[in-house]
A and B are shown apart, each in its own frame.
Chain A
Amino acid sequence: MTWGLATSHVPSIGAAMDNGKTTDEYWKPLFDGYTPARQWMVEHTPDVAVIVYNDHANAVDLNLVPTFGIGTAESYAVADEGWGRRPVPPVQGAPELSEHLVRKVIDDSFDVATFHHLDVDHGLTVPLSVYCPEPGEAWPCAVVPVLVNVIQYPQPTAARCYALGQALGRAIRSFPRDQKVAVFGTGGMSHQLAGARAGLINKEFDRMFLQAIETEPDKLAALTREDYIREAGTEGIELIMWLIMRGALSGNIRRVHDTYHVPASNTAAALALFEDLGAKETV
């Protein structure tokens, strides 16, 4: 394990990159905030990125809503979410690592669903673009998608997500192959898309979360889903996916960079990058 990245996955962040708007007055502060993290990540390219995200009505139908799922395919097509596909490369899978992770976390009592066919939407491709804004013909790493239901209530608890992250971390470290792995936790920060509370932004909560994800993940894991919905908004509950990333890292991490910005479309947006020093010790 080399590093962990937490980042928002708002579709309009992807659209800003796709349409060359990253230096516009509206978007420049957000993308300027990404710069130091991007520079660091360019120098630390993983072989595989395990990307924890949620689908947005593109691959997961409301007929069947798995709480947790892992993609096991050779490759994943970029989804048409209703407004045409993003002009980014298809995502290459890492089926052997996927298979290993599925077996290990099921042995660890997490009954995950598996996806052999999965069109990946902005929840996965926007974080990849945050990491690598100009992939050219292919992304610089293979990907294992880890899906979390955050759309339909009841979502998994934050504590369960943190524990899944710890199980994934154990599974990744036990993979009998010398591969560099990064873990992405996506979604958040505070946002409320529908209803009378639309536009809710709670900077105090976001700042607290952004700090505590490094130093006090147990405190964040103890919050209820009602806490997340009340404080960060109905969609702000996506923050529980950051806890899966955090759980997967070792206990020995260093914060490389973070940034926080309001607004990105209807939400607050943040990024936090952690180097996993535990991995270094074993090299």
Chain B
Amino acid sequence: MVKAQDNYVLDLAQNRRGLALNRMCGSLKHAENRARFTAGEAAYCDSYGLSPEQKKAILERDWIAMLDLGASIFYTFKLAMLDQKSMQYLGGVFTGMTAEEFAAELRAGGRKFG
């Protein structure tokens, strides 16, 4: 029932699937970890036990693949901010738009469904 509404509800299965990736992204709340990540992204991913698919998604900044591999937006947003990418940028990625197009849709009242 939940999946019919939204594919990326963080339920327990999604949490289990994405735990390593989310914990890695969550660790970026510490400045020293941001520095360590920037100094060697792949090694940092390995230190958190990411799967090869998760590591690839992180290194390639494949934001949709991250979600497919269990990511929570509240965790990956820390990585986006490290890259100086806004939530509107991510919204654009998820919906096939540029950040500017996405922001314009919000300014026009938001997107509607159903």
Residue ranges of A at the interface with B (Cβ–Cβ < 8 Å): 12, 56-58, 61-63, 79-84, 151-154, 190, 192-203, 226, 229-230, 233-234, 262-263, 265-266, 268
> Do residues A153 and B81 form an inter-chain contact, with CB atoms below 8 A?
no
Given known A62-B72, A153-B2, A226-B5, contact A193–B82 (CB-CB < 8 A): no
**Taking chain B's interface residues, is the majority helix, strand, or loop, or is none over half, making it mixed?**
helix
Q: Is B56 an interface residue (CB 8 A)?
A: no
Q: Is B7 an interface residue (CB 8 A)?
A: yes
Contact of B29 among A57, A197, A200 (CB under 8 A): A57
Q: Is B19 an interface residue (CB 8 A)?
A: yes
> Do residues B75 and A57 form an inter-chain contact, with CB atoms below 8 A?
yes
Residue ranges of B at the interface with A (Cβ–Cβ < 8 Å): 1-2, 5-12, 15, 19, 22-23, 25-26, 28-31, 34, 67, 72-75, 77-78, 81-82, 86-88, 90-91, 94-95, 102-103, 105-107, 109-114
Task: Chain B residues near A265: list those with CB within 8 A.
Answer: 86-88, 106
Contact of B78 among A81, A195, A234 (CB under 8 A): A81
> Do residues B82 and A82 form an inter-chain contact, with CB atoms below 8 A?
yes
> Do residues B81 and A152 form an inter-chain contact, with CB atoms below 8 A?
no
> Do residues A82 and B29 form an inter-chain contact, with CB atoms below 8 A?
yes
List 22 A-B residue pairs with CB atoms under 8 Å apart, sorted by A's residue number: A12-B87, A57-B72, A62-B15, A62-B22, A62-B23, A63-B19, A82-B28, A82-B78, A151-B10, A152-B11, A195-B6, A195-B7, A197-B113, A198-B111, A199-B95, A203-B110, A226-B1, A226-B5, A229-B6, A262-B106, A262-B110, A263-B110
Report how far A154 CA is from B75 CA in the complex, Å.
18
Task: Chain B residues near A12: list those with CB within 8 A.
Answer: 87
Report how far A187 CA is from B19 CA in the complex, Å.
25
Task: Chain B residues near A268: list those with CB within 8 A.
Answer: 110
- The winner among A57, A82, A190 for most chain B CB atoms within 10 A is A82
Contact of A202 among B5, B72, B74, B112 (CB under 8 A): B112
> Do residues A199 and B110 form an inter-chain contact, with CB atoms below 8 A?
yes
- The winner among A80, A194, A195, A198 for most chain B CB atoms within 10 A is A194
Task: Chain B residues near A61: list those with CB within 8 A.
Answer: 23, 26
Determine how close the nearest CB of chain B comes to the CB of A231; give it in whole angstroms. 9
Task: Chain A residues near B15: list those with CB within 8 A.
Answer: 62, 152
Task: Chain B residues near A197: list those with CB within 8 A.
Answer: 6, 111, 113
> Do residues A62 and B26 form an inter-chain contact, with CB atoms below 8 A?
yes
> Do residues B81 and A194 form an inter-chain contact, with CB atoms below 8 A?
no
